[in-house]
Amino acid sequence: MERPPLTVLETDVLIVGAGGAGMSAAIAAADAGQQVMMTDRSLIGRGGATIMAQMTVAVALGEQEPDDWRFHYADTLAAGRGLCSEPLARLLCEEGVAAIRKMDEWGVGWARADGHLTQAQAPGHDRPRCVYVDFLDTGPAVATTLRTQVAKDKRIRRIGDLLIVDLLVDQGRVVGAVALHLASGQPVLIRAAATIIATGGLTRLYRRNSASVNMGGDGYALALRAGARLIDMEFVQFFPIGHLAPRLVGFDPIMWDPFRYKLGGRLLNGLGEEFVESYGHQAESGGYTVTRDAATYAILKEVEAGRGTPAGGAYLSFRHVPEAKLRAAFGPIIDRLAANGIDLTQTMIEVAPTAHYHMGGIRVNVDMATDVPGLFAAGEAVGGANGANRLSGNAITEALTFGAVAGRSAAALASQAGADGEAAVQGAAVPDVAALTALAEPIVGWLRASSPTGAVPVAEMIVALQDLMQNDVGPFRNKAGLHRAADAIKALRARLGDALPGGTGPQDPVRVDGLDLRNMLLVAEAVVIAATARTESRGAHQRDDHPGMLDEWTVNQTLAWQGGQWTLAVQAVERLPASSIDTAVEAHA
């Protein structure tokens, strides 16, 4: 049977991922005059993490009390436990102010009081700093606002159902990608002068997670195979109060944070005792103050000591809050909870840590450029800004800010190269379609080869990977568990083999799972290698066999993958030169 001709698409800037970071990048690149192609394996603007975010957005607006981006920066560095890239953290905090104001101009609907944007207190911040829409719908409001702006710009082409399989590298430069069009099952060739990875994080690697199905580390795997380095891969943030019990239908598992922000819910162990202060933190009876890594540690240590709840977590109690106050804060939600049989005036919720965010990711500079010319990254796909632990509220700020910078940087490169590839940039030009087709042939042929359905149980293998990551590479780690995980990952890779499982028809779930597992195994191995090497406990990386932080580990780890071999290296944490920032930070401290 004759195969259909290969579909070829061309653009100035290719964006992989269409969540908050991807849409922000698309808007910025189009504003710079470039033609943009924004691709996503699901619906444009309706996948990824941004649309799932509830809670708050950290930014030093100073709307309700004096504030400065330098104070936000100081809190970010403190949360990062000494490992934040200071240039990236500064970029996030300083340029985040304009990004959030721009969203306000676009009508996102930040909550207001007395003519000012309302700013809420969040863990790890020295003052009320975080804006929100209505606590439970902040992310959807941000996503809707960005989708509206994207739809207005004719220079942005939006293509859903397109799973990017591999980036194409010519003479050391990324020049496009090969994708699988899920609706048809056919490969697609994309020619681009610049490419931005905005695919989010890796928390789908874990059995208990708050991720969408497309956050299994795709972007990290794409970057690795293209020759880019990753950084800080050992630092996976677990959201401490993910929903555990009773059964709850139709809610995000991390829904309880807004309640804690607004109503000061109490964390209790299985004996009904407050316990956070037992781990060196102030009591939380007056509010929500403990950072995520510290709360995760406290909860799991209580469970380990036999003081956990029946389902294996901690209790979150609002029984001290009058019903009138509950309803004033979350009226419609209280009714939805009641429909699930939960009365917060009487019922304590069982919560436990769930994989939520990844501090590590693709190593970039302040232009969001990777080590590989032509390749940029944005949002949670970027590593380094948050160090060993992300400060609450920084994720959406990061997506918007880093997305805009990546869009501008990619557009600048594309404008020099030109989509016609005639101008040489950094020693290489974009190949013409014929040359690019030849370059892509190995991956296109691999995609067009059919394997017997069911020959490799990829869905079962994904579950097995999630289980081993949860059990041995979760919030607490040790040498024996990490070695078990490494061996299990190698065994799964051998079982998967080199052939791509599934058929070549439309929407083949086996083929999609096979592509996912290929990426997930590579990225999981990166996490295990970095976690094994870091023989200390810091932030979101806790080693039972190496408790406590060590000065000699105040360094970042980087990972490269070439020819089937890993290269692990250590680099000094990027610091900013002494400046007025230091004075402000010292005064803040």
Q: Are 36 and 30 in contact (CB under 8 A)?
A: yes
pLDDT tens-digit readout, 35-80: 999 999 987 766 777 766 667 899 999 998 999 999 999 999 999 9
**pLDDT of residue 223 exceeding 90:** yes
**Does residue 423 have a pLDDT over 50?**
no
- Give tens-digit pLDDT for 364-422: 999 999 999 999 999 999 999 999 999 989 999 999 999 999 999 999 999 987 544 44
Per-residue pLDDT tens for 131-157?
A: 989 766 788 899 999 999 999 999 999
pLDDT of 163 strictly over 60: yes
Q: Which of these, 545, 476, 80, lies nearest to 298 by C-alpha position?
A: 476
Query: What is the reported pLDDT for 422?
Result: 45
| Residue burial 430-454, b: 16+ Cβ < 10 Å; e: rest | bbeeeebeebbeebbeebeeebeee
C-alpha distances in Å from residue 158, one per residue of 31, 100, 146, 152, 179: 16, 24, 13, 12, 14
pTM to 2 decimal places: 0.92
Torsions phi, psi for 437 (to 5 deg): -60, -40
> CA-CA-CA-CA torsion for 559, 562, 565, 571, nearest 10 degrees?
-20
First-to-last alpha carbon distance for the chain, in angstroms, is: 71
- For 297-349, the pLDDT digits (tens) are 889 899 989 999 999 999 999 898 888 888 888 877 888 888 888 888 899 99
- What are the residues facing 315 on neighbouring strands? 268, 350
- Average pLDDT of the chain? 90
Please choose, from the candidates 32, 124, 7, the residue with its C-alpha nearest in 3D space to the C-alpha of residue 73.
Answer: 124
Instruction: Name the pLDDT band for 453 (thresholds 50, 70, 90).
Output: low
Rounded to whole angstroms, how far apart are CA atoms 310 and 157? 51
